[in-house]
Structure 1
Amino acid sequence: MTETTSKQLLHLVMGGRVKDPQSLEFADPSAIDVVGVFPSYAEALEEWRGAAQRTVDDAEMKYVIVHLHKLLEPAG
Structure 2
Amino acid sequence: MANSVTGGKEQLLHLVFGGELKDLDHIQFRDLSGLDIVGIFPNYAEAYGAWKSKAQATVDNAEMRYFVVHLHRLLEPELPGK
Pair in the same fold by TM > 0.5: yes
Give the % identical residues. Answer: 55
Distance in 2, matches of 1:22 and 1:67, equals 23
Question: Scaled by the length of structure 2, what TM-score is found?
Answer: 0.80
Question: Scaled by the length of structure 1, what TM-score is found?
Answer: 0.86
- Residue 21 of structure 1: SS of its match in structure 2? coil
- Segments of structure 2 that go 5 or more residues without pairing to the other structure are 3-8
Matched residue, 2:32: 29
Matched residue, 1:58: 61
Kindly tell me the number of residue pairs found equivalent between the two proteins.
Answer: 73
**CA-atom RMSD, angstroms?**
1.5
4+ aligned runs moved over 3 Å, structure 1: 4-7
- Residue 48 of structure 1: SS of its match in structure 2? helix
